């Protein structure tokens, strides 16, 4: 049939010996606002460098921040979607450190009194469902961006300064790169469904830091390192394997693991030390004096909870129950809200929802990836057209090859799939009389094969099937042709 399942990454050859991984993730998610967290500058992606800045986000003397109320509501909505506790009172703090992309010399964040605490996210593993605990969710502003290379050296773009973020910190519940990627994909599905963020990793609106240590099973936690700023699922998986292999080799040699921040180089496939972490808390925090506490009334939280759409877990269950999808397929279709909406609308118009799901996860996504890469937010085919194509394929009116041809054409222009199949002579031959004639001719023209079949060589049936199919120009409906051929062969042997 037209369609299939997406491939999965291969595990590299990494021998950890007697050790197991313990991983916690810190995920930075850009909130879906039009303006920054403390000023009215735009947050649109791809603007010319340093064109979306003002005295507030540049940290000029005398400029005062004002909290973006919509950003606070989105952050609280994320907490509710992740089953966290929403604190009625939270506060901002100054996180002091020096870096060229931080013009104020500090970042406004939440440390002592975060907006959300606790929470959980259920992921699917090879051993079944697993709960990943969430320690906290806090709000903060983004820093700028350094652009390295070229004759100009390193350049500074402050457009991202002040962009609203939430940082989601997990408990150390993740046991390997597959679970880490499963968590990130599920997190992206939940947050995009809730409308909190678009979570476009290629645009930096979803970024991940990995905290990783090794230990022997049942032992105390080992010394952890942090791998910063990973912005693709592949980078997360590769970085975890690389750092785990480095730590395992160091432990085998009797070398200590240093608590440090590292970066992953995708070219070499190795991690490199950036700086040491001399203490558990490496930054200096104190309360932000220019901002009052953030107050969230109970009725506001109640309204936010009521506004949550049906989330991926519930929708996965619905797709399994209503449309008969497997757990894997249902979960894949709920990874993005727009995809789940598209599938549901299409499935309600089609005779075979499973066929719709197979086409979406197979050929549709192959075409999307070829044209738009990994990140996409829509399918250029109307749901009613895809439903009609699905019915043609699942009903045996066109074969897989013709279905792919029709789908590719639908990506370019809108038309009725059945009319296209008729116009280009793609419809399968289903007329019984014509098929019986093809079977009769195949048997008459290949008496040696028929004799071999009578002699007990049943494998000849497939060769005769090919002969009969060729006589129809490859247009026969396969199951009907096979049935009629088998009946004819049985008559020959009785």
DSSP letter string, 134-184: EEEEEEEE---EEE--STT--EEE-TTTT-EEEEEEE-S-B-SHHHHHHHH
pLDDT of residue 374: 57
pLDDT one digit per residue (tens) for the chain, 494 residues: 344 333 344 456 688 999 999 999 999 999 999 999 999 999 999 999 999 999 999 889 999 999 999 999 999 999 999 999 999 999 999 999 888 899 999 999 999 999 999 999 999 998 889 999 999 999 999 999 988 877 778 899 999 999 999 999 999 999 999 999 999 999 999 999 999 999 999 899 999 999 999 999 999 999 999 999 999 999 999 999 999 999 999 999 999 999 999 999 999 999 999 887 655 556 789 999 999 999 999 999 999 999 999 999 999 999 999 999 999 999 999 999 999 999 999 999 999 999 999 999 999 999 998 876 656 778 999 999 999 999 999 988 888 889 999 999 999 999 999 999 989 988 887 777 878 888 888 888 998 898 888 888 888 888 988 988 888 877 787 888 888 888 888 887 76
pLDDT of residue 8: 43
CA nearest neighbour of 211 among 266, 167, 255, 253? 167
Kindly state the greatest CA–CA separation across the chain: 100
Please tell me whether residue 21 adopts helix, strand or coil conformation: strand
Enter the pTM of the model: 0.84
H-run or E-run covering 236: helix 233-252
CA nearest neighbour of 361 among 334, 398, 324? 334
pLDDT of residue 84: 98
How many CB atoms neighbour CB 487 within 10 A? Answer: 12
Beta bridge partners of 128: 125
């Amino acid at each position: 049939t037209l369609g299939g399942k997406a491939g999965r990454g291969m595990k590299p050859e990494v021998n950890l010996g007697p050790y197991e991984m313990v991983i916690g993730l810190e995920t930075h998610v850009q909130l879906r606002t039009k303006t920054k967290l403390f000023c009215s500058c735009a947050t649109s992606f791809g603007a010319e460098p340093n064109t979306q800045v003002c005295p507030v986000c540049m940290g000029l003397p005398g400029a005062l921040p004002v909290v973006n109320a919509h950003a606070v509501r989105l952050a609280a909505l994320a907490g509710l979607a992740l089953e966290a506790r929403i604190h009625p009172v939270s506060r901002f703090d100054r996180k002091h450190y020096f870096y060229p992309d931080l013009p104020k010399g500090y970042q406004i964040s939440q440390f002592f009194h975060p907006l959300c605490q606790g929470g959980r996210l259920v992921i699917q593993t090879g051993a079944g469902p697993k709960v990943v605990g969430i320690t906290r969710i806090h709000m903060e502003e983004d820093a700028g961006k350094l652009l390295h290379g070229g004759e100009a050296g390193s350049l500074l773009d402050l457009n991202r300064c002040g962009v609203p973020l939430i940082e989601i910190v997990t408990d150390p519940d993740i046991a390997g790169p597959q679970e880490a990627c499963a968590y990130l994909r599920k997190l992206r599905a939940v947050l995009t469904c809730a409308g909190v963020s678009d979570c476009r990793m290629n645009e930096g609106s979803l970024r991940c830091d990995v905290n990783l240590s090794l230990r022997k099973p049942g032992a105390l936690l080992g010394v952890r390192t942090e791998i910063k700023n990973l912005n693709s699922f592949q980078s997360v998986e590769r970085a975890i394997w690389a750092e785990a292999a480095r730590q395992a080799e160091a432990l085998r040699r009797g070398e200590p693991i240093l608590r440090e921040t590292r970066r992953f180089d995708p070219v070499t496939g190795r991690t490199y030390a950036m700086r040491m972490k001399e203490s558990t808390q490496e930054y200096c925090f104190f309360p932000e004096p220019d901002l009052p506490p953030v107050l969230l009334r109970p009725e506001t939280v109640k309204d936010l909870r009521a506004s949550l759409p049906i989330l991926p877990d519930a929708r996965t269950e619905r797709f399994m129950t209503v449309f008969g999808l497997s757990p894997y397929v249902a979960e894949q279709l709920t990874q993005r809200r727009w995809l789940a909406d598209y599938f549901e609308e299409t499935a309600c118009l089609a005779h075979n929802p499973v066929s719709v799901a197979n086409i979406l996860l197979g050929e549709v996504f192959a075409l999307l990836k070829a044209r738009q890469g990994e990140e996409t937010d829509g399918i250029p085919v109307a749901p009613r057209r895809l439903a009609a194509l699905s019915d043609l394929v699942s009903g045996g009116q066109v074969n897989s090859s013709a279905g792919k041809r029709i789908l590719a054409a639908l990506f370019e222009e809108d038309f009725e799939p059945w009319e296209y199949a008729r116009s280009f002579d793609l419809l399968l031959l289903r007329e019984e009389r014509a098929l019986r004639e093809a079977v009769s001719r195949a048997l008459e023209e290949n008496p040696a094969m028929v004799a071999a079949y009578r002699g007990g060589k049943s494998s000849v049936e497939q060769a005769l099937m090919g002969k009969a199919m060729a006589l129809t120009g490859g247009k026969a409906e396969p199951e009907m042709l096979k049935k009629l051929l088998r009946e004819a062969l049985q008559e020959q042997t009785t």
